[in-house]
């Protein structure tokens, strides 16, 4: 599958100081040496940069470049690899790439370099996925989480738990294969103790990985409420206050405004169901309510905004009650005006909800609002030790925890250790999938296909 030599521009498209074209595979050195003219007579040597000239078919100079070769297995991909450092600007790099292709290389597919690194054992699956997250990181916190995983923290932690489960499984099996007067090889109590430790380690890891997911993907926040409550003003106030606006994207549909700001390294994706309020009559109103409901369903957190300068509407109370099962906050807006409702009296009506009184107009208590938003989804302080993990890996961790829980329950119910052994096996398989031990072509294709070309 990987017999051929691939080439791609590995740096971003456009004007830049340099642009790097990478060549990886068995013929990488040969192709590079054929297609460029080294400045001195000295041949290529691993990890030594050489000046060279890039010439086109007619012998005309395209660029003065630097050639940096690596020998397998000591390269990113684990194969023979050559980097050609061209001058930035798309044309020289593009011509360089074309020369390499005509010299026998093939255009690399998205993520193919990292895929090869994985195939050659240079990276495990969680590290390979962290490379993708590193490229996409939009905050220092997300970058750190990606680097922790790339350093192998997730691999080590999962590996240790995997080892312990393997040991436990083996000990249970020994007892089952050689029963001595019906006394198990490992006593139920000590088995339960060790499984409990495993479950706790998995739970800690899950929390760190969930933080990683939040850092990478952010929190989707729907700003909802009755017309004129101040939803759009609140969105604008949050954006104006924050100097860390990442992007402000026009709505995916005509009536929805989405904007992203970063708070404590977490992208907050704020969705305002705007535009529908201006003519809030009959069928238009119905559509508006539909849209708002859709936004609420997709959101991780809902913020229900109420105009505190007006008498409370029953609709507000009813709708907030409907939110009971979703993470949500109730914002009492327009605190700068004389209030018709107090935070305390509203809390008494909706005791299951957190109420925060703010002023969008004057920017009062907006930090508290953001802090509460983050607190609703991320829980404790695992953000600082977050590990990059994909949603898939988080699911596997959850699966492993469930399997260990089933095993513990079986033990508690006095059931046979053979059942526990099955659960331990299930948990091990979940962990093995995190590390990519179980080869699943579709899954690998999915993961590496998300990379850009040249990575
Ligand atoms: P939406 O329909 O919920 O999006 O509400 P808007 O954001 O369009 O605001 C409705 C009206 O309330 C506008 O006239 C705003 O200027 C006003 N408003 C919004 N927030 C505040 C606030 O905190 N204080 C005051 N005094 N007025 C506000
Ligand atoms: Zn609005």
The residue out of 348, 383, 418 marking a domain boundary is 383
Q: Per residue in 418-438, pLDDT tens? A: 999 999 999 999 998 887 766
The two structure tokens encoding residue 450? 């998300």
Nearest-angstrom CA–CA distance, 128 and 86: 27
> Is residue 85 domain-shared with residue 151, that is, in the same domain?
no
CATH (domain of 185): 1.20.120.430
ipTM surpassing 0.95, yes or no?
Answer: yes
pLDDT at 436: 73
Backbone φ and ψ for 54, nearest 5 degrees, come out as -100, 120
Residue 407 lies in a domain: yes
Q: How far is the CA of 321 from the centre of ligand 2 (A)?
A: 22
DSSP 8-state secondary structure symbol assigned to residue 325: G
Question: Which atom of ligand 1 has the smallest separation from the CA of 226?
Answer: 3
Q: How far is the CA of 450 from the centre of ligand 2 (A)?
A: 36
Check if the beta carbon of residue 86 is closer than 8 Å to that of residue 61: no
Q: How far is the CA of 44 from the centre of ligand 1 (A)?
A: 68
Q: In what helix (H) or strand (E) does residue 264 lie, and over which residues does it extend?
A: none
pLDDT at 21: 95
**Is the model's pLDDT at 205 over the cut of 50?**
yes
Nearest-angstrom CA–CA distance, 72 and 81: 7
pLDDT at 52: 94
> Is residue 64 domain-shared with residue 136, that is, in the same domain?
no
Nearest-angstrom CA–CA distance, 314 and 76: 62
> Is residue 338 domain-shared with residue 407, that is, in the same domain?
no
Residue 1 lies in a domain: no
Q: Whose CA is nearest to atom 19 of ligand 1?
A: 230
The residue out of 65, 100, 124 marking a domain boundary is 124
**Is the model's pLDDT at 182 over the cut of 70?**
no
Confirm or reject: Cβ of 232 under 6 Å from ligand 1. yes
Residue 454 lies in a domain: no
> Is residue 237 domain-shared with residue 266, that is, in the same domain?
yes
DSSP 8-state secondary structure symbol assigned to residue 333: E
pLDDT at 114: 92
The two structure tokens encoding residue 304? 């229900």
Q: Per residue in 274-316, pLDDT tens? A: 533 444 455 555 666 677 778 888 899 999 999 999 999 998 9
Q: How far is the CA of 41 from the centre of ligand 1 (A)?
A: 74
Q: Whose CA is nearest to atom 20 of ligand 1?
A: 230
Burial class (CB in 10 A: 0-12, 13-18, 19+), 46: middle
DSSP bridge pairs for 271: 222, 258
Nearest-angstrom CA–CA distance, 264 and 371: 9
pTM for the model stands at: 0.71
Check if the beta carbon of residue 432 is closer than 8 Å to that of residue 159: no
> Is residue 209 domain-shared with residue 224, that is, in the same domain?
no
Domain count, the chain: 3
Q: Which of 234, 360, 364, 366 to mutate to test the pocket of ligand 1 (most atoms within 8 A of CB)?
A: 360
pLDDT at 284: 55
Q: Per residue in 233-283, pLDDT tens? A: 898 888 876 543 333 343 333 456 778 888 888 888 888 865 334 444 555
Mean pLDDT, range 338-347, rounded to an integer: 94
pLDDT at 260: 84
249 marked as binding residue:
yes
Confirm or reject: Cβ of 339 under 6 Å from ligand 1. no
Residue 453 lies in a domain: no
Residue 455 lies in a domain: no
């Amino acid at each position: 599958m990987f017999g051929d030599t691939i080439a791609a521009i590995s740096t971003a498209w456009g004007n830049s100081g340099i642009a790097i074209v990478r060549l990886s595979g068995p013929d990488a050195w040969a192709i590079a040496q054929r297609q460029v003219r080294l400045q001195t007579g000295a041949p290529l040597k691993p990890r030594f940069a050489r000046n060279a000239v890039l010439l086109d078919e007619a012998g005309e100079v395209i660029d003065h470049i630097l050639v940096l070769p690596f020998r397998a297995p000591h390269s990113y991909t684990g194969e023979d690899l050559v980097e050609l450092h061209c001058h930035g600007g798309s044309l020289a790099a593009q011509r360089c790439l074309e020369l390499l292709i005509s010299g026998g290389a093939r255009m690399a597919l998205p993520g193919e370099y990292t895929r090869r690194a994985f195939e050659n054992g240079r990276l495990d699956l969680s590290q390979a996925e962290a490379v993708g997250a590193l490229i996409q990181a939009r905050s220092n916190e997300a970058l750190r989480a990606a680097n922790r995983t790339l350093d192998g923290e997730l691999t080590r932690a999962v590996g240790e738990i995997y080892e312990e489960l393997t040991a436990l499984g083996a000990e249970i099996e020994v007892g089952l294969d050689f029963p001595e007067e019906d006394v198990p090889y490992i006593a139920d109590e000590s088995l339960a103790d060790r499984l409990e430790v495993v479950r706790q380690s998995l739970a800690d890891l899950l929390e760190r990985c969930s933080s990683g997911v939040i850092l990478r993907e952010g929190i989707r926040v729907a700003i909802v409420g009755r017309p004129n409550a101040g939803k759009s003003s609140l969105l604008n106030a949050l954006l104006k206050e924050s100097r860390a606006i990442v992007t402000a994207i026009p709505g995916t549909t005509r009536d929805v405004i989405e904007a992203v700001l970063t708070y404590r390294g977490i992208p907050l994706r704020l969705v305002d169901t705007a535009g529908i309020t201006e003519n809030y009559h009959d069928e238009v109103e119905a559509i508006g309510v539909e849209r708002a409901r859709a936004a609420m369903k997709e959101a991780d957190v809902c913020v229900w905004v109420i105009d505190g300068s007006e008498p409370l509407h029953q609709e507000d109370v009813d709708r907030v009650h409907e939110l009971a099962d979703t993470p949500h906050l109730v914002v009492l807006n327009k605190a700068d005006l004389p209030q018709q409702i107090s935070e305390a009296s509203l809390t008494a009506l909706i005791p299951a909800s957190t109420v925060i009184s703010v002023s969008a107009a004057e920017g009062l208590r907006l930090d508290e609002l953001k802090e509460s938003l983050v607190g609703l989804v991320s829980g404790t302080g695992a953000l600082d030790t977050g590990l990059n993990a994909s949603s898939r890996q988080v699911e596997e961790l959850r699966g492993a925890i469930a399997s260990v829980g089933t095993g513990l329950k079986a033990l508690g119910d006095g059931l046979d250790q053979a059942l526990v052994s099955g659960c331990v096996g299930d948990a091990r398989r979940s962990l093995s999938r995190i590390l990519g031990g179980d080869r699943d072509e579709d899954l690998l294709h999915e993961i590496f296909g998300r990379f850009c070309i040249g990575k």
